[in-house]
Amino acid sequence: MNARPESLKHFPRNGSAAWALERWIPWLILLAVAFVSRFYGLGERALSHDESMHAWYSWAFATSGRYAHHPMTHGPLLFHLNALVFRLLGASDTTARLMPALAGVGVVAGLLFFQRWLGRTAAFLAAALAVLSPTLLFYSRYIRNDLYMALFALIWVYGLLRYIETPRRAWLALVALGMALSFACKETVFITGLIFGGWLVALTLVRALAPPGRPPPNNASESVSAVEHAPFSVGPAADLAVFMLCTALPFAAALGLQACGWDPCDWLTPLGQYRALGMQAALALAGLAGAAGWLRFRQRGAPRETRPPARWWLICAAGFWLLQVILYTSVFTNLGVGAVSGVSGGLGYWLAQHGVQRAGQPWFYYLMLAALYEFLPLLLAAGAVVRFFIRRREQPPLLVSFCAVWALAAFAAYSLAGEKMPWLLVHITLPLILLGAVWAGGFIERCAKDFVPRGPALAWMACAPLIFYALINLPATVPFTGRTLADAHARLQALRVLAAGLLLGWLVWRSTPRLTAAVQRRGLIAGSLALLVFLTARTAFQLAFVNYDLPIEPLVYAHGTPDLTRTARRAERLQRLCAGRDTPVVAYDDQSTWPFIWYFRQMRACAFGNRVSSEILSAPLILCGDAQLAAVRALTGTNYVEEAINALWWPQDGYKHGLLNNAGRLVREREQRRWLWRVVAFREYPGSPLATWPKRRSAYLFIRREWAARADPDED
């Protein structure tokens, strides 16, 4: 027997080197793709309205050391992180989006740890779906809180599931960490927390009321203690529900203030602060009393190894609140206002916005967005639900039941909420990906043995792409006698459809006798999934790297136009040309504040609000909106060159009132269907060019005549 090579002696003889390569190289490749897709060209897109607010307040925090939390801009964590990046790397469009891009990569990497419940194949597929997801990709390149919330939700969920399996202190600390970061990030945590807590309560009731001899869920990686399955017993799931409720109870102070007839958004007056702090203190004491009572109850009947550690509960809760106090008070520089605006003001402010219903989106808004962008995880998740419903005798794994509740409850909660914005689709997409990966992973493992040794099965995989190709090339008419260019194009389309049909028929005829019906069905499904993967990748690429600042994408909402960065370059050129002068370079009104204030942050700028006076004439560049246009135009006269630009624009929203009402026309009229196909497949809006886009906000640029030609950024 030959001796092993010296270079392989540090590997065990069971082939662990090959196992490590097989296990980790695909993940490393996937993470590399995630990193490149999140960071490539990060600063090319102009900032949106909300992005400019987040970036400017973070820059002001980094340069002045002052920041005051306001619920309108959500939690303080984003501003602390961005301020740190600006201090270390400087402020730019690229560095402003650096931390969300890292969070986007973190979401992909975090799914690696879910192999414990998903399995290797399904976990890798979940990470691949996260990489390809148009929504997750787009908002990983966007200064918003939603990708942070996705990452923190994964931390929170991982801690929950591990604690349910084995109630250890480390997993409780992980739950507290995910909660703490989420509460310091965005008010959508109230929806997330209610969903997670509701599932824990439901899990407790199901297990407590189960028959005494019923086995635990059929999940090889799940090792739930027997106490969870004793009749009318509670266990780690109930402990977690109580811990989460008691720890976060002071954040419900807004409800108590409203019940008393007080304004939860009054955090600036001393009386409002005293009321809010008193309500928060009362709820904190109630949370302590509830936790103490629950711990005493659990100490009596539970085995020692499943008893929740009282001291560790206190440590985790103290850590939770220490992080909230540090961030909401801007590291103890804004104690009075920050403690009130963050803990009670956040929920109070956004409950008030529910009645305002900004954007006025219909109830089916997120279903429409998911069908446009997240059709692959949506279909996969539906497949998982159908599979486990058909096999309802088999108890679904823990993660499947959790993700099903999470996805359905998130769809319902955000659809019922008064304010519907496109970035909230992130909170629906993540559970859809997890749930869909369960079904897709099992399907691929079942198909592997059919498709690898059997070549004819590959023919059935080609059926779905061929059918799709034939449908998109189906001509409206097939004229055989016309000689126009349109007639020739129609004949070419007809020939394409005919060729695809012949190829499809030949493949089915040659492969059908050699395959069983089950293999044929799996081949057709596999081909359909391959087609959907391609379409998802195409949609993500178009959204993130082609149409990233164009309102033809429904996710591009209240966004800066390409005119924005061109105007910023003009101002920078004027700043260089006017070096040595003390007069302002730019003057802008209140309608132009956002997002221009971010681009003018290091320039000599004059914000004149809604008061137009001769002082603005000292600036060679003046910006204004429609409200001040007449006054500025009268003041500047012929001394300035006027130019209209697009500052912000929004996607078209004719679906609000016309989509369901015109469903019959879409079925009956071919032209309506073709118009809808152009919009859905190619984001083309016939009759609505970008130059005359109906949903936009214009700005007016006045450049002093002697500087107009020299301020052209194309001369750089």
pLDDT in tens, 302-356: 677 677 888 999 999 999 999 999 999 999 998 888 989 999 999 999 888 877 7
Contact predicate 711/621, CB 8 Å: yes
**Cβ atoms of residues 107 and 136 within 8 Å:** yes
List, for residues 519-544, the tens digit of each pLDDT value: 777 777 888 888 899 899 999 999 99
Q: Please tell me the distance from the alpha carbon of residue 590 to that of residue 625, in angstroms, as a whole number.
A: 8
3 state SS of 605: strand
- Residue 616 located in a structural domain: yes
483 SS3 class: coil
Domain assignment of residue 450, yes or no? no
Q: What is the pLDDT of residue 254?
A: 94
Higher pLDDT, 202 or 484: 202
* Cα–Cα distance measured from residue 453 to residue 473, given in angstroms and rounded to the nearest whole number: 34
What is the rounded distance in angstroms from the CA atom of residue 658 to the CA atom of residue 661?
A: 5
Single out the residue of 544, 545, 548 nearest to residue 561, CA to CA.
548
Q: Please check the confidence at residue 218 and state whether its pLDDT lies above 50.
A: no
CA–CA distance, 294 with 296 (Å, rounded to integer): 5
In a domain, 696, yes or no: yes
Give me the pLDDT at residue 211, please: 65
Say if CB 571 and CB 597 are below 8 A apart.
no
DSSP 305: G
| pLDDT-based confidence at residue 7 (cuts at 50, 70, 90) | very low
Does an H or E element contain 86, and which? helix 77-89
**What band does 9 get if pLDDT is binned at 50, 70 and 90?**
very low
pLDDT at 212: 58
**Do the domain assignments include residue 489?**
no
Give the count of domains, the chain: 1
The predicted pLDDT at position 3 comes to: 47
- Whether the CB-CB separation of 47 and 595 falls below 8 Å is answered with yes
* CA quadruple 418, 419, 421, 427: dihedral sign: negative
What's residue 483's pLDDT?
65
**Shortest CA distance to 267 belongs to which of 75, 68, 60?**
68
Q: What is the DSSP letter of 76?
A: S
Query: Residue 250: how many CA atoms within 13 Å on its side-chain side?
Result: 24
Q: Is the pLDDT of residue 229 over 50?
A: no
Q: Name which of 254, 132, 244 is nearest 197 in CA terms.
A: 244
pLDDT for 2: 46
Q: What pLDDT, on a 0 to 100 scale, did the predictor assign at position 360?
A: 84
Tokens encoding 119: 């399995």
Strand ranges for 575-695 from DSSP E? 586-589, 605-609, 621-624, 640-649
Pick the most confident of 191-200, 382-391, 662-671: 191-200
In this predicted model, what pLDDT tens digit does every residue of 60-85 receive, in sequence order?
A: 999 999 999 999 999 999 999 999 99
Go through 340-353 and write b for each residue having 16 or more CB atoms within 10 A of its CB, e for each that does not: bbbbbbbbbbbbbe
Say if residue 510's pLDDT is above 80.
no
Q: For residues 293 and 285, give the distance between their C-alpha atoms in angstroms, rounded to a whole number.
A: 12
- 566 is a domain residue: yes
What contacts 266, CB < 8 A, 6 or more positions away?
272, 275, 276
Whether 585 is in a domain gets the answer: yes
pLDDT of residue 23: 78
Q: Are 368 and 654 in contact (CB under 8 A)?
A: no
Judge whether residue 642 has pLDDT over 50: yes
pLDDT at 13 over 60: no
Distances, alpha carbon 72 to alpha carbons 64, 68, 128, 479, in Å = 21, 12, 34, 59
- At residue 418, the 3 state secondary structure works out as coil
- 672-689, pLDDT tens digit by residue? 777 788 888 889 888 888
**Is 70 exceeded by the pLDDT of residue 628?**
yes
- Exposed, middle or buried by CB within 10 Å (0-12, 13-18, 19+), for 473? middle
Of 113, 181, 116, give the one whose Cα is nearest residue 150: 181
Which band of pLDDT confidence, cut at 50, 70 and 90, is reported for residue 223?
Answer: very low
| Higher pLDDT among residues 581 and 270, named by residue | 270
CB 593 within 8 A of CB 411: no
Q: Please confirm whether the linkage preceding 595 is cis (ω < 30° from 0).
A: yes
Residue 607 located in a structural domain: yes
Q: 308 φ, ψ to 5°? A: -70, 135
Q: Quick one: pLDDT at residue 407?
A: 95
Residue 649 DSSP SS3: strand
pLDDT at 131 exceeding the cut of 90: yes
Query: Per-residue pLDDT for 551 more than 90?
Result: yes
Cα–Cα distance measured from residue 193 to residue 174, given in angstroms and rounded to the nearest whole number: 15
More confident residue, 393 or 237: 237
Q: Which residue has the higher pLDDT, 150 or 516?
A: 150
Residues 441-465: pLDDT tens digits? 888 887 776 655 455 666 656 676 7
> Is residue 231 scored above 50 in pLDDT?
no
CB 606 within 8 A of CB 616: yes
Per-residue pLDDT at 8 exceeds 50:
no
Query: What's the whole-number mean pLDDT along residues 548-562?
Result: 94
Domain assignment present for 265? no
Average pLDDT, the chain: 86
* pLDDT at residue number 225: 39
Task: Work out the angle between the directed axes of helices 120-132 and 16-39 (0-180°, nearest 10).
Answer: 20
In this structure, what DSSP letter does residue 264 have?
A: T
pLDDT beyond 90 at 600: yes
Domain coverage including residue 597: 561-652+688-715
